[in-house]
Amino acid sequence: MCGGSRVCGGRGGVVMTVEGRASGAGRIGARRDRCVGAGQCVLAAPAVFDQDEEDGLVRVLDEEPPVSQSDAVREAVWACPSGALDLR
């Protein structure tokens, strides 16, 4: 179960700190080899994710987003149909 100040994902979670940055190994990972270009991450968290103009695959704009983006990042990881996103 995740709530409050936690960011959860289908492939792991990370606690967000008061300073607004992920603690420990809390970095967003994107596996372009798994990405299918669905764009769900961009819809959920446009400040954190984008799609490459040439191939449409995921680009991470901020590997350590502020705590204000935690809900959007959690949604993006959950919504990714290929499982290309994770929190490390």
Q: Where is average pLDDT lowest: 28-32, 66-70, 75-79?
A: 66-70
* Other beta carbons within 10 Å of 87: 21
Instruction: For 31-45, write each residue's pLDDT tens digit.
Output: 999 999 999 999 999
pLDDT greater than 90 at residue 17: no
Give the residue with greater pLDDT, 88 vs 83: 83
Contact criterion met (CB below 8 Å) for 56 and 82? no
Mean pLDDT score, 57-66: 94
- As a whole-number percent, the residues of the chain with pLDDT over 90 amount to 59
pLDDT band at 67 (very low <50, low <70, confident <90, very high): confident
Fold held by 6-87 = Alpha-Beta Plaits (3.30.70)
CA pair distance 19, 76, nearest whole angstrom: 22
Distance, in Å, from the CA atom of 22 to the CA atom of 43, rounded to the nearest integer, reads 22
Give residues with Cβ within 8 angstroms of 77, minimum separation 6.
8, 9, 10, 11, 41, 85, 86, 87
Domain regions of the chain by residue span:
6-87
